Structure 1
Amino acid sequence: MYIDFSDYSRGAVVATDLVNTSPIVRAAGDAVADAAALDAFLTAHDIQRDTNGTELAQIHALRDEVRAVLETETQADAVAGANALVEKAARGPLLRQDGNGQWHWLVATAPEAPLADELAVLMGTGLLGTLRSLGFARFRPCASPVCAGVFVDTSKAGRRRYCMPDVCGNRVNVANHRARKRQES
Structure 2
Amino acid sequence: MDIPLNDYPTGAAVATDLVNTSPTVRPDGDGLPTPEALAGFLAEHHVYPDAVAEREPTGEDLFGVQLLRREVRGILETETADQAVAGGHVLARRAALGPVLRRDGDDRWQWHVPTAPGAPLADELAALFGVSLLGVVRVLGHDRFRACDATGCRGVFADTSRAGRRRYCTPDRCGNRVNVANHRARQRAGSVAR
TMscore range, shorter length: over 0.9
Q: Which moved more, 1:53-62 or 1:66-75?
A: 53-62
SS of corresponding position for 2:59: coil
Alpha-carbon deviation of 1:78?
A: 0.5
For the residues of structure 1 that align with 2:59 and 2:46, how far apart are their CA atoms? 18
Please report the RMSD computed on the Cα atoms of aligned residues, expressed in angstroms. Answer: 0.9
For the residues of structure 1 that align with 2:144 and 2:8, how far apart are their CA atoms? 13
2:133 matched residue in structure 1? 127
2:121 matched residue in structure 1? 115
For the residues of structure 2 that align with 1:104 and 1:33, how far apart are their CA atoms? 37
Paired amino acid for 2:188: R
Report the number of matched residues. 185
2:154 matched residue in structure 1? 148
Alpha-carbon deviation of 1:54?
A: 2.1
Q: Deviations over 1:56-88 (max 9, x none)?
A: 111011000000000011111011001100010
More helix by share: 2
Q: Which runs of 4+ in 1 moved over 3 A?
A: none
1:40 matched residue in structure 2? 40
Paired amino acid for 2:110: H
Alpha-carbon deviation of 1:180?
A: 1.2
For the residues of structure 2 that align with 1:86 and 1:36, how far apart are their CA atoms? 26
TM-score with structure 2 setting the length = 0.93
Alpha-carbon deviation of 1:179?
A: 1.0
For the residues of structure 1 that align with 2:187 and 2:70, how far apart are their CA atoms? 40
Q: Deviations over 1:37-66 (max 9, x none)?
A: 000100011122332332111101100000
For the residues of structure 2 that align with 1:89 and 1:148, how far apart are their CA atoms? 29
SS of corresponding position for 1:157: coil
Q: Deviations over 1:78-106 (max 9, x none)?
A: 11001100010111111111232111111
Structure 1 gaps, min length 5: none
1:2 matched residue in structure 2? 2
Structure 2 gaps, min length 5: none
